[in-house]
Amino acid sequence: MIKALFSILIFPGFLFVSVFGLFAEFFDRKIYARLQNRVGPPWFQTFADFIKLLAKEDIVPCEANPRMFGLAPIFALASVITVFLYIPLWKTETLFSFNGDIIMVLYLLTVPTLAFFIGGWYSTSLFARIGSVRCVTQLFAYEVPLFMSILAAALLANSWSLVDIVIFYTRHPLYCLFNLIGFGISLIALLGKLEKTPFDIPEAETEIVAGAFTEYSGRLLAILRLTIDIEMVVGSALLVAVFFPFGLTLAPITGFVVFMAEIMFVIALLSLLRTVVARLRIDQMINFCWKYMVPLAIFQLLLNLTLKRILM
């Protein structure tokens, strides 16, 4: 019981993933700044911003639904922390695992977007509601290729368990090469899930202030920002575990360090992508996902089905 509580609350649970998420935000902002020939923030900036927001007052709009407005950020944070407990960090095992957990992981990763929609919609602000609608609109664009790409890798591994997928690709590393298309699609889709450039349409500050987060302040805004930071870490960890889980076969400490380095590499790729591409319109984003990413994801799925039949 004590060990389980330690795992959930300390490591690899809430405390560890929160600190790592704030550090990942600093790393992302630093890489983004250096790619634009700027200095970027100091290492403690994200921690200072988080503490500052915690000390501020929560202001709820008069016409907002206070219950939905307050619960949405909490549900979003709880979902991404729960996902992290099902991802292997230093060995080919997780804290909790069962056959089919990859489906649950993908489902839980959709909860933050839905929570952002609910929180923004029930704040009754015009800007927040426009941002909320854009959140859901994007959801139906990037989720399909993301799911297909990750499930294609699971199909080749012949399992819906994340642990079994990791074990398969650590034993057959050459098969990872066949999933490169799926990795590229998942990386781009993760940008949409995190609402980063060029898919930062739901929170376009030049158009709708802060989108669904416009009316949030204080502790609730701190929770929302922490949720996005953790979601970036969790999404990157999921991509590493599914497509390149090479470090998990090493000794526990070495494997953990290598896995963390792989996560930071994926975050660096996200920073690079959002540096070189300008923001798209919502219709351009949807067209791009359905005209290009979905067909490529279908091709990846068919390729893995063919390989699976050959292997059988």
- Full 3-state SS string of 126-193: HHHHHHHHHHHHHHHHHHHHHHHHHHHHHHHHCCCCHHHHHHHHHHCHHHHHHHHHHHHHHHHHHHHH
> Does the pLDDT value for residue 95 go beyond 80?
no
Higher pLDDT, 232 or 207: 232
Tokens encoding 80: 């991404």
Q: Work out the mean pLDDT of the chain and round it to a whole number.
A: 88
* Predicted structure pTM score: 0.92
106 close to 269: Cβ distance less than 8 angstroms: no
Give the residue ranges of DSSP H helices in 36-125: 45-54, 66-84, 101-108, 111-121
Cα distance between residue 224 and residue 129, in whole Å:
16
**Tens digits of residue pLDDT in 123-160:** 888 888 888 888 888 888 899 999 999 999 999 988 89
Residues 6+ apart with CB under 8 A from 285: 138, 141, 192, 198, 199, 201
Cα distance between residue 236 and residue 190, in whole Å:
8
Residues 6+ apart with CB under 8 A from 16: 10
Tokens encoding 162: 């994340």
Question: What mean pLDDT do residues 104-129 have?
Answer: 89
Question: What mean pLDDT do residues 182-194 have?
Answer: 92
> Does the pLDDT value for residue 174 go beyond 90?
no
Tell me the CA distances in angstroms from 258 to 44, 129, 169, 240, 263, one per residue in order. 24, 42, 16, 11, 9
> Does the pLDDT value for residue 206 go beyond 90?
no
Cα distance between residue 53 and residue 47, in whole Å:
10
Residue 284: per-residue pLDDT: 85
Percent of the chain beyond pLDDT 90?
40
> Does the pLDDT value for residue 312 go beyond 70?
no
Residue 209: per-residue pLDDT: 75
Which range among 85-89, 271-275, 295-299 has the greatest average pLDDT? 295-299
Tokens encoding 171: 């034993």
Amino acid at 167: I
Cα distance between residue 180 and residue 72, in whole Å:
35
> Does the pLDDT value for residue 231 go beyond 70?
yes
Residue 8: per-residue pLDDT: 78
Distance of CA 58 to the CA centre of its chain: 26
